[in-house]
Amino acid sequence: YDDRDGKIWMDGKLVEWRDAKVHILTHALHYASSVFEGERCYDGKIFKGHEHSLRLRRSAELLDMEIPYSAEELDIAKDAVLKANGWDNAYVRAIAWRGSGEDMGVAAKRNPVRVAIAAWEWGNYYGDAKMKGAKLDIAKWRRPDPATIPCEAKAAGLYMICTMSKHAAEAKGCSDAMMFDYRGYVAEATGANIFFVKDGEVHTPKPDCFLNGITRQTVVQMLKDMQIKVHERHIMPEELESFEQCWLTGTAAEVTPVGQIGTYNFEVGDLTRRVATEYEKLVRS
């Protein structure tokens, strides 16, 4: 996978895919000083690309790192990567991290903040499960208290529990895991936000300790435009039983229907299908 053709943008220039390497003493590898973005390019245009560039810079700022490129420069770099690889439909991964340098310890202000942008063709995140309704496990790990970690940042350190939760889910034959937060409220999946439907209205967890996804915000607005009531609130685990439909949102996940969470079942209903179709239309418009 490393030794393949293709171009990756690294610190201001395009390099060969196989040469896009970092040193083993990279600070980020030891101390998780890394932030990233996941974006999708549809028919030659990155959906909300500039918002993703701004979020990358904001995530870095929350981790006390300054990205040496403006959001506009990042936008141009992303387009250059897509063009160099000849892709019109692809997933784009931008990443910024504290590199190796003079500082070997926890504090590493003297080490440079580095940036790379890669892209690859990535189909449905949940594969065949996509329109049939994904099966979710219930994660044993919880989203942490905002007082313990900057949870607004799309930072690598916040994904350790996601990887463990998703591995455990896959071992049980599930596509993903739903996580509760530190208070026990329903939070999100390991890389996507979650929505529920009950009596024609939509309920989604209030994003006060996890990423308020760009797709989540897009879908909330879309529902409001459709005159559908959206309740952004704390959701108790006992309520899962009363919801009729459920879906996930995320750049990679797009709008993915959920058929099951633990022992709770949901139908892939009309509203779920409508939201998925409208989202697909919007990203390609």
Q: Is 214 in the site for ligand PMP (CB under 6 A)?
A: yes
Query: Per rule CB under 6 A, is residue 156 in the interface with ligand PMP?
Result: no
Shortest CA distance to 69 belongs to which of 127, 110, 11, 155? 11
Would you count residue 205 as binding ligand PMP (CB under 6 A)? no
- Amino acid, res. 163: T
Pairing of strands 186-189, 193-198: unpaired
Q: Is 132 a catalytic residue?
A: no
224-253 positions binding ligand PMP, by CB under 6 A: 249-251
- Choose, from 83, 154, 206, 229, the residue flagged as catalytic: 154
Binding residues with ligand PMP: total (CB under 6 A): 15
Residue number with CB closer to ligand PMP (9 or 279): 279
Site residues (CB under 6 A) for ligand PMP, limited to 102-141: none
Q: Interaction with ligand PMP in 27-66: which residues (CB under 6 A)?
A: 38
Residue 85 or 193 with smaller CB distance to ligand PMP: 193
Task: Please tell me the distance from the alpha carbon of residue 81 to that of residue 85, in angstroms, as a whole number.
Answer: 6
Residue 222 in the binding site for ligand PMP (CB under 6 A): no
- Helices 214-225, 270-283: inter-axial angle, 10-degree rounding: 110
Torsion over CA: 273, 274, 280, 283 (sign): negative
Q: How far is the CB of 220 from ligand PMP (least distance, A)?
A: 11
Q: Of 34, 111, 165, 193, which lies in the binding site for ligand PMP, with binding defined by CB under 6 A?
A: 193
The answer to whether the beta carbons of residues 281 and 155 sit under 8 Å apart is no
Q: Which residues of 199-237 are buried (b: 16+ CB within 10 A; e: fewer)?
A: eeebbbbebbbbbbbbbbebbbebbeeeebebeeeebee
Of the ranges 27-35, 66-74, 206-214, 236-244, which one interacts with ligand PMP (CB under 6 A)? 206-214
Active-site positions read 154
Residues forming the site for ligand PMP (CB under 6 A): 38, 154, 188, 191-193, 210-211, 213-216, 249-251
